Amino acid sequence: MPRFITIGYGDRSGYDRTAKAVRDAAHAADAERVRAGDLMGMAGKPVQVRNPDAAGVEVTPGPFLSADLPIAGFALIEAPDLDAAIAIAARSPCAVAQGVVEVWPLDPAPDAKG
């Protein structure tokens, strides 16, 4: 089955403005996805990793990406197609609580076997 990476963006003020029943339903939908085998988690503190010309690793604290809202979490989900993945993302806490969720199709690496 196709896999998709989702990136949820949101902040506390948007979350707090959303009705508790709507938030609870979104958390229940996420919990069901986890029970079905999807991987989900909240975003921790990132680091940037570079290794130019394989000559030495450089690590820089903080995100490379910037957005109007902070990144709240990530998921690796399975869905039959992009439309189904969008339907899953649309029920997530970030999507319903004034945030946004990006859905990225996870295409196999060119040299991946299988």
Please report the pLDDT score of residue 15 as a whole number: 96
Please report the pLDDT score of residue 110 as a whole number: 85
The answer to whether residues 98 and 23 touch, using CB atoms and an 8 Å cutoff, is no
Examine residue 26 and state whether it is found in any structural domain, yes or no: yes
The pTM for the full model equals 0.88
Q: How do the pLDDT tens digits run along the chain, 114 residues long?
A: 999 999 999 999 999 999 999 999 999 999 999 999 999 999 999 999 999 999 999 999 999 989 999 999 999 999 999 999 999 999 999 999 999 999 999 988 888 765
Examine residue 28 and state whether it is found in any structural domain, yes or no: yes
Could you give the dihedral angle defined by the CA atoms of residues 49, 9, 94 and 7, in that order, rounded to the nearest 10 degrees?
-40
Examine residue 52 and state whether it is found in any structural domain, yes or no: yes
Examine residue 113 and state whether it is found in any structural domain, yes or no: no
CATH number at residue 86: 3.30.70.1060
Examine residue 89 and state whether it is found in any structural domain, yes or no: yes
Number of domains comprising the chain: 1
Examine residue 15 and state whether it is found in any structural domain, yes or no: yes
Examine residue 74 and state whether it is found in any structural domain, yes or no: yes
Question: Do β-strands 39-42 and 100-105 pair in parallel, antiparallel, or remain unpaired?
Answer: unpaired
- Domain containing 82 equals 3-105
Where are the alpha helices (H) located in 1-114, listed in sequence order?
Answer: 12-17, 20-35, 82-90, 93-96
Please report the pLDDT score of residue 114 as a whole number: 58
The phi, psi pair for 7, rounded to 5°, reads -125, 120
Examine residue 112 and state whether it is found in any structural domain, yes or no: no
